């Protein structure tokens, strides 16, 4: 016949409580969204636009080049939809982001030295990672958007309207044929539910009391 072992039960409860409350045990969740197009999209004549897969190409505000889709003096827009990611439901929209990694495939044209991009409604980003690329080549680069935007800036766009969408714009002297954004956050600083803590502490106290009572018998 098995006997209740209060000391063992108390030790187990203490271990469980310690595991939950250790702040460095990170619970990380990542989601990503992708946009794809062709390296050589069709062309059109201004003021028409060109649809290149998930990308919409139009002339910039003051076009000198009337051919749309050749990668010169153009705006490229796309929307990243994170709701299709399997982790979408589990992803926290309130925890601070720990990473926002953007991957872009660009086919550069003439004046790449002035090119910029942005999450729509946020400030434009000008970075040497793009502006120093050689002309007339296809390159894939990675950028950490938290180097340019705050976590709250990105999540503010992410949570707008129905949530899970981030619209972006690239301009103006390169073709964008691939874009991927991966967002990550972790729960390492999260506090467990008070009811859970209270329950475990209560069980631990009961175990401690049973241990002392057993020792007196």
Spatial distance between the Cα atoms of 189 and 95, rounded to a whole number of angstroms: 9
Per-residue model confidence (pLDDT) at position 199: 47
Q: What is the rounded distance in angstroms from the CA atom of residue 105 to the CA atom of residue 39?
A: 9
pTM of the model: 0.74
**What pLDDT is attached to residue 7?**
53
Parts of the chain with a pLDDT under 70 = 1-27, 62-65, 187-217
Q: Which pLDDT score is estimated for 132?
A: 96
For position 186, what pLDDT does the model report? 75
- Say what the pLDDT of residue 88 is: 92
Fold of 27-185: Jelly Rolls (2.60.120)
- Can you give the pLDDT at residue 62? 64
pLDDT of residue 63: 60
CA nearest to 80, candidates 7, 161, 182, 12 = 182
Express each pLDDT in 20-63 by its tens digit.
444 444 568 999 999 999 999 999 998 899 999 999 999 987 66
Hey, CA dihedral for 124, 143, 127, 58, is it positive or negative?
negative
């Amino acid at each position: 016949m098995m006997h209740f072992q209060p000391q063992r039960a108390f030790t187990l409860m203490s271990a469980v409580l310690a595991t939950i409350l250790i702040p460095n045990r990170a619970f990380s969740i990542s989601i990503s969204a992708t946009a794809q197009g062709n390296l050589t999209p069709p062309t059109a004549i201004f003021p028409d636009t060109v649809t290149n897969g998930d990308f919409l190409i139009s002339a910039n505000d003051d076009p000198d080049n009337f051919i749309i889709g050749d990668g010169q003096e153009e705006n490229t827009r796309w929307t990243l939809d994170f709701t299709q990611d399997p982790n979408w439901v589990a992803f926290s929209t309130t925890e601070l982001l720990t990473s926002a990694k953007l991957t872009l495939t660009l086919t550069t044209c003439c004046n790449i030295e002035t090119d910029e991009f942005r999450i729509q409604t946020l400030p434009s980003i000008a970075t040497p990672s793009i502006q120093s690329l050689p002309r007339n080549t296809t390159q894939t680069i990675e950028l950490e958007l938290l180097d340019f935007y705050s976590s709250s800036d990105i999540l503010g766009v992410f949570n707008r309207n129905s949530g899970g969408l981030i619209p972006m714009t690239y301009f103006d002297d390169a073709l964008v044929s691939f874009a991927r954004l991966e967002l990550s956050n972790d729960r390492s600083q999260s506090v467990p539910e008070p009811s859970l803590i209270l329950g475990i502490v209560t069980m631990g106290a009961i175990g401690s009391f049973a241990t002392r009572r057993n020792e007196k018998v």
